[in-house]
Amino acid sequence: MSEAGSEWWRTAVLYQIYVRSFADTDGDGLGDLPGIRSRLPYVSDLGVDGIWLTPFYPTPDADHGYDVSDYENVDPRFGTLADFDALVADAHDLGLRVIVDIVPNHTSSEHPWFRNALADPNGPDRARYVFRPGRDGGPPNNWESAFGGPAWTEDERSGEYYLHLFAPQQPDLDWHNETVRQAFQQILRFWLDRGVDGFRVDVAQSLYKERDLADVHIPDPRPRFGDWHTGLQQPELHDLYREWRQIVEEYPGDRMLVGEMFLADQTRLAEYVRPGELQQTFNFRFLFEEWEAASLRACIDEILAAFAAVGAPATWVLENHDVPRVATRYGGGAEGVRRARAAALLMLALPGAAYVYAGQELGLEEVDLADELRQDPIFARTGGRRAGRDGCRVPIPWTTGPGVGFTTGTPWLPMPPWWERSSVAAQDGDSQSMLELYRATLRLRRQLRALASGRLAWRDSPPGSLVFERAADSSTVVCVVNVDAPSVPLPEGELVLASDELEGSFLPPGTAAWLEG
Ligand code: NOJ
């Protein structure tokens, strides 16, 4: 690890591990912490700076861990606190940082606070949640759950409704309640004391609700990003994140906070990473761009300008556990994989930090599961209108043969017969594979000094392509991406990396290259 105070997070590449899908050591078909620990050498060898673990806390699993019933423990299916400590120690020995997910917007409905809140409407735990009387025989306002249906469920015993921006088993906390704020300070310290290097803050834009809980205007069709929801993104959030920043800064080692913010407006997004607030926020604009040169360039420019204005690093994401795999989004099949390879070179040449979701480095495609196998609450709550997110959560293939090295039991989601062809074992050492491309790209990213600090400057290039340089301390790296032009000439310089074979000194469509010069 780099030293304390180095602001390592400005350029870090973090590897997202969806805990239940990574590696299973006890044969129950669910990944676990010892499994992750056993695979840390693989992660380190990939060339990333750290890992982000999705929730591993005790959970009834209504939303696969994002419904936490105890914030200071490990679900027995995933291991123990001792396993967690051993995982952190091993990761640190390998020079990997460890970021954990924190879920402050809502608890599980099985959390003791919520059980108490239902059992005793006059007790103190009731005020930790958002309970309100109904209106005209229905919910208190017109808010909708992100998973479909109303954002309110009636507590039949009292006749009041409680708010849940997600599933009914995920009741929202009332962040205006001081005890909630204090409890989370304690939770942060609990994990910081155990050595974590930071937190990924779930639903980071929505903790505070507008006090009146007034109706909101819901655009139709409903936009992908949450900018329109005037009942959320309250100003109090900035104070909270300043407070959390102070807490992480009390600890040595430059620990960090990254917010999961689902906003399109870059200026508003960047307000959360002003000095003294969060160090990073995810930025999903890049992820949702089409594979189209002009719009990619405009999006990159807008993001870089907004984040530079507040002195914060941009973050780049192509995949996570909530969206279809990138190769599939870019068209699927050979073409989708080809574009995903080029996109890796593009993303990892951009200024700032980046996130790689486990399996992205294997070029895994979205799996189309039979409806009866789907487990994501989105599928059930929308009556099957939205397929949900299971297709990007299918466990990682490590080897060939039954269980593909993920499990000796029955995997929690079935793996397709062709899965083993994408396994780590199948790709290891094959210079044409996606895995070796990621390894080479991440290795070079560390070596090429210009990629650590150089500003991005665009160069002229044919329509349908992107060419930019990053220059620092007399070293220059040029990234050229043929998005969909008929052919793009290689710029001058020494070719150090290409996502696929070139045609002489030309890049065919869906190809990217790095040059030094
Ligand atoms: C965002 C997480 O990434 C997603 O998986 C989860 O369903 C929601 N937050 C609710 O916690």
pLDDT at 64 over 70: yes
The pTM of the full predicted model, rounded to 2 decimals, is 0.98
State how far the Cα of 163 lies from the Cα of 130, in Å rounded to an integer. Answer: 6
| Coil, strand or helix at 418 | helix
Contacts 24+ apart (CB under 8 A), 462-466: 462/488, 463/293, 463/294, 464/293, 464/488, 464/509, 465/293, 465/507, 466/293, 466/296, 466/297, 466/346
d(CA 367, CA 365): 6
pLDDT value of position 3: 45
Give the mean pLDDT of 193-212.
Answer: 98
CA nearest ligand 1 atom 3, residue: 322
* Among the listed residues 338, 337, 407, 405, the one whose alpha carbon sits nearest the alpha carbon of residue 366: 337
Residues with catalytic roles: 202, 250
pLDDT at position 4, please? 46
Using pLDDT thresholds of 50, 70 and 90, give the confidence band for residue 422: very high
Give, for ligand 1, the residue of 21, 53, 63 to mutate: max count of ligand atoms closer than 8 Å to Cβ. 63
The protein residue whose alpha carbon is closest to atom 5 in ligand 1 is 322
Q: Is 63 in the pocket of ligand 1 (CB under 6 A)?
A: yes
Q: How many degrees, rounded to 5, is the angle at CA 188 between CA 184 and CA 193?
A: 145
Structure tokens at 315: 């973050």
Q: Is residue 2 over pLDDT 60?
A: no
Protein residue whose Cα sits closest to atom 4 of ligand 1 = 322
Q: Which atom of ligand 1 is nearest to the CA of 103?
A: 11
Average predicted confidence (pLDDT) for the chain: 97
